[in-house]
Structure 1
Amino acid sequence: MKRDDALWKGILEDLFDDFLRFFFNNADEIFDMNRPFEFLDKELEQLFPTSEDEFFPKYVDKLVKVFTKEGSEQWILVHIEVQGAKDKTFAQRMYTYHYRIWDKYQKPITAFAILTDSNKHFYPTFFEQELLGTKIRYDFNAYKVLFQNEKDLDQIDNPFAMVILTVLTALQKGKVSNEELFNLKINLAKRLLSKNITKEKIRGLMNFLKLYVRFGNDEFISKFDKEVDVITNKPVKTMGIEEFVLDRERRVGLKKGIEIANKKKDTIFVKNLLEKTDFNDQQIADIANVTLEFIAKIRKNK
């Protein structure tokens, strides 16, 4: 699954109150929901500078300042792994986040790891280290999306449950056909619209569903958009011949621009793989999702 860092960061900010209620049954008794949440992305980035290396792993993480009903501050670290693969260093990284944040702020921390991968054997919940009588154990909240029950989630009256249902739907990609994935996605959209959720949150959730669950070809993307327009009773805009011609030219130009941009990105990516790895042409073709002819052309022009 491709990384969806921006999507996760956005939906967490849109639904952070629902996130708290999803994981804490008595959230409204613990947290002061009337006081604004403060998302400390810049502060977190100072503690964990991002690498400019394209091959260096990237993670989705949020640090949020939340006030309790008692008036004291709580620092909540939400660490979301969207890379669908086992990571042996994950628990250690969670521990590293904890001690660096504690060292800077000296405030209580509760940490969450939301695991969105498809590996049923990957389920880290703690980090432990012991040597000659000295022992450290760091436990954190871990939530494995793969293990959740769709029917149970559908019964939960919380918008964040729809986020988890969206990830469960995305995990079906590659296991079902585009037509089946389309039906799953439309069904989830209908269920979302039937919920008692504010328009602002529905808009955020619908965008998350639209962009997070990806089809294998453009035909189903257009088909999904049209079907959503129908079920949301969005009026169909008619256009005259002038508008039609301009719209067609705009779409043709946009498509060509996207094709050129994608080809340029593929070229850079393949060049990096050729220069920085020992992968053979077939392995690179599989990773970059390009043809062997494309790779041969780049080798020739190096």
Structure 2
Amino acid sequence: MPNPTPSARYDTPWKAALSHAFRAFMAFYFSELSKEIDWSKRPRFRDKELAGISLGRPPGGLVAGKLVEVRLLDGRVQWVLIHIEVQSQRDAALARRVLDYNYRIFNEYAQPVASVVLLADDDPDWRPTAFHNRILGTVMGISFSVAKLLDYSGLTDELSASHNPFAWLTLAHLRTQQAGHDADQLYAAKWQLTKVLYQHGWRKERIIVLFKVIDWMMALPEPYQQRYWHAVLKLEKERKMEWISPLEQSFMDKGWEKGLEKGRRDGVAAVLERQLTRRFGALPKSVRTRLARASMAQLEAWSDVLHEARSLKELFK
């Protein structure tokens, strides 16, 4: 029985790419907004805090959520938070979720929050840009900026030629969607994109990050993956480049999964520590140590009963 083609994996690749090249992301999908940001001040990622501002179980199709602190060129405010969502499936609750996150982030930091959404689904007619409630003279809601990957589907040559890494990632995502579970088509697309990756002359760090992105996103059945890996090693040898070692390849998937899990746990712990400090004052070292060592399940359990606890002793009991 032939090995089935694994399901496409979009979450880790998009998060890795956003962390690696956030400015390029904004410049490619939201160019007008990017022009308002002071890029001389390095953006600060607040992913741990975002992980703690949870709306419950992650919705289907959400592949990346990011929270980034930036400065603006006009100096109107000291700093601004940009909340980013990448959505790979149609979701009727998306606009409402953007409103919920925007408000909760604003309420947490008392700073302006801009929300931007990249729609990476396969429905050309789905383009949510707002959520509003109007009742008895009161209007509550949000309008947000949106970009759609399908809008680039007919621009293969332009995407391949662009030096922006998100042009290349857009092409990779679209080709992955188009291939579905057809291993031959997926292999051909992955190999073609790999060759394009090496043609751009990007620095070593970027090539390694993007190689991991495509290898994770365009998951192949084992025989195809072995064939692909041998082709990559041959290409590097021909170009006298030895950037992706077999050892790096073998630990690639496990390392990313472990890192994402730890990042989410640390984020929940940080938010819970801040909430406890606000309620009970400065925390003793023993409590901070307990939070640092707790499992995700334990942190969530404490968070659930925090509003009922009258003391730290009662909470941890």
Bucket of the pairwise TM-score, normalised by the shorter protein? 0.5 to 0.7
Q: Which runs of 4+ in 1 moved over 6 A?
A: 234-237
The amino acid that maps onto 1:229 is: L
Q: 3-state DSSP class of the match of 1:30?
A: coil
Instruction: Identify which range, 204-213 or 42-51, moves more after superposition.
Output: 42-51
Residue 279 (structure 1) aligns with = none
Structure-1 separation of matches of 2:183 and 2:66: 33
Task: Give 1:232's aligned residue.
Answer: 236
Q: Which runs of 5+ in 2 are unaligned?
A: 1-6, 243-249, 255-317
The AA in structure 1 aligned to 2:70 is V
Q: CA deviation at 1:145?
A: 1.4
| Matched-pair identity in % | 26
SS in 2 for 1:138: strand
The answer (yes or no) to whether the contact 2:122–2:150 under 8 Å persists in 1 is: yes
Question: Structure 1 residue 29: deviation in Å?
Answer: 5.2
Q: 2:207 is matched with which residue?
A: 202
1:63, 1:192 → 2: CA distance? 28
Is 1:170 the counterpart of 2:176? The answer is: yes
Moved more, 4-13 or 228-237: 228-237
Do the aligned partners of 1:159 and 1:197 also contact (CA within 8 Å) in 2? no
1:113-262 alignment runs, 5 A limit: 113-148=117-152, 149=154, 150-174=156-180, 177-215=182-220, 217-233=221-237
- Distance in 2 (CA, whole Å) between partners of 1:140 and 1:236 is 43
Gaps of 5+ in 1: 238-250, 259-302
Q: CA deviation at 1:218?
A: 0.9
* Per-residue deviation, 1:2: 4.8
Contact 2:9 2:216 in 1 (8 A): no
Alignment partner of 1:154: what SS?
A: helix
Distance 2:96 2:213 in 1: 30
- Provide the aligned C-alpha RMSD in A: 3.0
User: Does the 8 Å contact 2:129/2:145 carry over to 1?
Assistant: yes
1:269 aligned residue: none
* Matched residue, 1:78: 84
Give TM-score scaled by structure 2 length. 0.65
Contact 1:41 1:63 in 2 (8 A): yes
Q: How many residue pairs are counted as aligned between the two chains?
A: 234
Out of 28, 42, 53, which is 1:47 matched to?
53
- Partners of 1:121 and 1:27 in 2: CA distance: 24
Structure ranking higher on relative contact order (CA contacts 8 Å, 6+ apart): 2
3-state SS of paired residue (1:229): helix
